[in-house]
C-alpha cells in the first residue's frame, strides 16, 4: 500500500504542476508584489524538489495545508466535511444496490432461461446502459418539476436524499444483479448442491443457506472498488443535485488549480480504495474456507 500511495502522490504532484495555469490566475491581473507574497505564503517560490518533499511529509500526517480557493480553511477540514456527505450519499446508494441487486440476481439464477430471468437481465442491461448524468436530470424533471413530489437539489432533509440516491444506485443495482446471477449459476451446478437437494432439503434452504454464501463471492470482490467509486466518485451526481460532497470539491479544486486540495482529495481517495480492497481480501477468506491469506 505504501509504494502504491507514493507512486500516486508523485504522479499527482507532477501532473498538477504540468497542467496549464496556476492557482492565482484570475480575470484581473494581480499586482506583481501581491502575487509574490502569495507565492511565498504557500511555498510556491521554493524549488520543486523542496515542494515535493514538503508535500510528502505533510501527506504522511494528513496535513496538506490551507486551500488556495478557500484560504481560511485547511484541506483536511474540507476533506472530512466533504467525505461525510459523500459517504452518506454513497452508503445509502450502496445499501439500496445490495438490497435490490442480490435478490434480483438470485431469483434470475434460480429461474434461469425463464421469463423472470429475461426480464431481470433486460432491466439490468438498461440500468448499466443509462448513464447517471442522463438519469439524474430525468428524475428531476419527473419528480421535482412535473409532479412536485421531491426537491430538485441541495442536501437539506431526508426527502432531498431520495433522487440523488436513486440516480446513483441504478447502475450498481444492475452490476450486482448480473454478478450475483453469474455466481449463483456456477454454484448451483456444484456437487454439494445436488447432494443437499438429494437429502430432501427445500429449494429455499438450498439456495439461501448453501448456495448464496459462495454465490455472492463475485459481488464481494466487486464491492471494494465499487464502494470507493460510489462514495468518492459521485462527482456528476453531486454537481447535478448541488450536493457539497468530496467530488464537488475535487472539481472546484481542479478548475481553480488548487494544488493542495486536489492532491489531498486524490490521496484520500487512493487510501480509501486500498483499505477497501484489503477488507475484500479478508471477507473472501471468511466466506470461502478454501481461500487462505498468505
Domain of residue 214, CATH code: 1.10.3720.10
> Which 8-state DSSP code applies to residue 269?
H
Q: Which residues pair with 74 in a beta bridge?
A: 66
56 within a domain of the structure (yes/no): no
Say if 128 falls within a structural domain: yes
Q: How many CB atoms lie within 10 A of CB 60?
A: 11
Residue 294 lies in a domain: no
Q: Kindly state whether residue 104 falls inside one of the protein's structural domains.
A: yes
- Smallest CA-to-CA distance from 236 within 165, 89, 132, 154 is with 132
Q: Are 124 and 100 in contact (CB under 8 A)?
A: no
Per-residue pLDDT of the chain (294 residues; tens, 9 = 90+): 889 989 998 998 888 888 777 676 654 566 667 667 777 777 777 888 888 888 888 888 888 888 888 888 888 889 888 888 888 888 899 899 999 999 998 888 888 888 988 998 888 888 888 888 888 889 889 998 888 888 887 788 888 889 999 988 888 888 899 998 888 888 888 888 788 878 888 878 888 877 887 888 888 878 877 877 777 667 788 888 888 888 888 888 888 888 888 888 888 888 888 888 788 777 766 666 665 655
Rounded to an integer, what distance in angstroms lies between the CA atom of residue 230 and that of residue 58? 27
| Number of domains making up the chain | 1
Closest-CA residue to 2 (of 278, 279, 196, 253): 278
Q: How far is the C-alpha of 225 from the C-alpha of 74, rounded, in Å?
A: 28
Is 277 part of a structural domain of the chain? yes
- 1 occurs within a structural domain: no
Contact predicate 256/69, CB 8 Å: yes
Nearest to 231 by CA among 273, 294, 279: 273
Domain that holds residue 101: 90-287
Q: Let me know if residue 123 belongs to a domain.
A: yes
**Is there a domain that residue 80 lies in?**
no
Output the CA torsion sign for 119, 120, 123, 128: negative
Are 17 and 48 in contact, with CB atoms under 8 Å apart?
yes
CB 121, CB 195: distance < 8 Å: no
- Name the grid cell of 115: 421469463
Amino acid at each position: 500500500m505504501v509504494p502504491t500511495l507514493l507512486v500516486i502522490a508523485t504522479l499527482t504532484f507532477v501532473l498538477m504542476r504540468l497542467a496549464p495555469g496556476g492557482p492565482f490566475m484570475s480575470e484581473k491581473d494581480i499586482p506583481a508584489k501581491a502575487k509574490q507574497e502569495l507565492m511565498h505564503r504557500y511555498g510556491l517560490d521554493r524549488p520543486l524538489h523542496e515542494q515535493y518533499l514538503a508535500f510528502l511529509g505533510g501527506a504522511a500526517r494528513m496535513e496538506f495545508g490551507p486551500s488556495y480557493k478557500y484560504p481560511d480553511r485547511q484541506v483536511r477540514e474540507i476533506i472530512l466535511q466533504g467525505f461525510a456527505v459523500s459517504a452518506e450519499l454513497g452508503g445509502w446508494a450502496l445499501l439500496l444496490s445490495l438490497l435490490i441487486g442480490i435478490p434480483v440476481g438470485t431469483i434470475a439464477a434460480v429461474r434461469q432461461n425463464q421469463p423472470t430471468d429475461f426480464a431481470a437481465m433486460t432491466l439490468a442491461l438498461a440500468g448499466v446502459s443509462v448513464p447517471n448524468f442522463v438519469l439524474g436530470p430525468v428524475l428531476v424533471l419527473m419528480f421535482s418539476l412535473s409532479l412536485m413530489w421531491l426537491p430538485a437539489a441541495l442536501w437539506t432533509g431526508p426527502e432531498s436524499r431520495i433522487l440523488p440516491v436513486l440516480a446513483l444506485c441504478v447502475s450498481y443495482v444492475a452490476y450486482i444483479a448480473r454478478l450475483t446471477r453469474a455466481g449463483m449459476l456456477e454454484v448451483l451446478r456444484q456437487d454439494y448442491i445436488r447432494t443437499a437437494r438429494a437429502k430432501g432439503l427445500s429449494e429455499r434452504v438450498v439456495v439461501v443457506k448453501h448456495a448464496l454464501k459462495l454465490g455472492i463471492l463475485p459481488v464481494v470482490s466487486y464491492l471494494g472498488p465499487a464502494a470507493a467509486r460510489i462514495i468518492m466518485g459521485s462527482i456528476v451526481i453531486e454537481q447535478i443535485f448541488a450536493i457539497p460532497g468530496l467530488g464537488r470539491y475535487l472539481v472546484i479544486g481542479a478548475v481553480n488549480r488548487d494544488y493542495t486540495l486536489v492532491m489531498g482529495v486524490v490521496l484520500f481517495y487512493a487510501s480509501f480504495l486500498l483499505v477497501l480492497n484489503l477488507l475484500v481480501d479478508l471477507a473472501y477468506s471468511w466466506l470461502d474456507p478454501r481461500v487462505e491469506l498468505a
